Amino acid sequence: MIKQLNFTEYDLEVFGASPLFIGLTPDEIKAMTKVAEVYRYSIGETIFEKGTSESSLYVVSAGCVDIVDTLEDGTEVLIAILTRGNFFGEMSFVSGEKRTANATAKEQTGLLKLSMKPFLTKSLDEIIKGKIMLNIARKLVLRLQKLNLEHMSVLNQRSEYLRDNSSPLVQNMVENIAHIRGRYLI
C-alpha cells in the first residue's frame, strides 16, 4: 500500500461518479479532499481483514476490489466485486464494529479513504456529513431490501416443498405460517 500525497484529477472525478457523493456540490466535493486520503494497492494486497477494528470507508477510484467472507469450514465466499465509484466498509464506518469480511485488491487499485474522525468533529461541514450519511443509509436499505427478497424466496421455496410433500396437517400449518408472515412483513 502506498499513500499518495495529492489528489489527481482522476481521483476528483470519482467523487462526482460515486453514489456516496450524490447531492454534493463541487465546493462540497472539494472540501472532501481535505479529509479523504488516497491509497494505491498492488494486485492481491489486503485492504482490510475480517475481525479487524477500523472505522474507515473506502471508495474505489481505479481498479477492482474483492469482498470475501470465509465460512467456519474455511470455504471462501465472494460477496462482491467492486469497481470505480463503488464504496465499501460502510458497516464498520457507521457502527464502529469489527469488519465482517475481507477486502483485497483484485488488480492495481486506487482507493479514497474516509475515516470517521471528521464526521465526529467540526472538521467537516454538517450538511456534507448529512448528505454522505444519507447516501450510506440508502445503500444499506437497498442491501436489506435485496436480502429480504432473497430470504422470502427461500422461505417460499421451502413452503412449497412442505406443501407438496407433507401430510394435510403440516400443509395447513405451512399455510397458516405463510399467512401470519405476510401480515407482519415490512
Report the pLDDT value the prediction gives residue 2, as an integer from 0 to 100: 82
* 77 vs 186: CA distance, rounded Å: 29
133 pLDDT tier (thresholds 50, 70, 90): very high
| Per-residue exposure over 117-137, b if at least 16 CB sit within 10 Å of its own CB, e if not | ebbeeeebeeebeebbeebbe
What SS3 class is residue 69? strand
20-39 per-position pLDDT tens digit: 999 999 899 888 888 899 99
Kindly report the number of other CB atoms within 10 A of residue 20's CB atom. 25
The set of cell numbers assigned to 92 is 464498520
Kindly report the number of other CB atoms within 10 A of residue 138's CB atom. 13
CATH fold of 2-124:
Jelly Rolls (2.60.120)
Question: Residue range 61-81: average pLDDT?
Answer: 93
186 pLDDT tier (thresholds 50, 70, 90): very low
Report the pLDDT value the prediction gives residue 12, as an integer from 0 to 100: 76
Question: Residue range 14-25: average pLDDT?
Answer: 88
Cα of 73 vs its chain's centroid, Å:
24
Report the pLDDT value the prediction gives residue 1, as an integer from 0 to 100: 82
Where do we find the cell 484529477? Answer: 9
Question: Residue range 94-121: average pLDDT?
Answer: 93
Report the pLDDT value the prediction gives residue 179, as an integer from 0 to 100: 63
* 131 vs 24: CA distance, rounded Å: 7
Edge-first strand order for the sheet with 56-62 is 2-4, 36-41, 109-115, 56-62, 87-88
* Residue 170 reports pLDDT greater than 50: yes
Average pLDDT over all residues of the chain:
86
134-165 per-position pLDDT tens digit: 999 999 999 888 888 887 877 777 767 666 76
Task: Name 102's bridge partners.
Answer: 68
* Residue 117 reports pLDDT greater than 50: yes
131 pLDDT tier (thresholds 50, 70, 90): very high
Q: Which phi and psi (to 5°) does residue 26 adopt?
A: -55, -40
Question: Residue range 122-127: average pLDDT?
Answer: 87
Question: Residue range 166-185: average pLDDT?
Answer: 65
Task: Name 66's bridge partners.
Answer: 81, 104
Question: Residue range 160-182: average pLDDT?
Answer: 67
The set of cell numbers assigned to 121 is 468533529
Question: Residue range 76-101: average pLDDT?
Answer: 94
Question: Residue range 125-133: average pLDDT?
Answer: 93
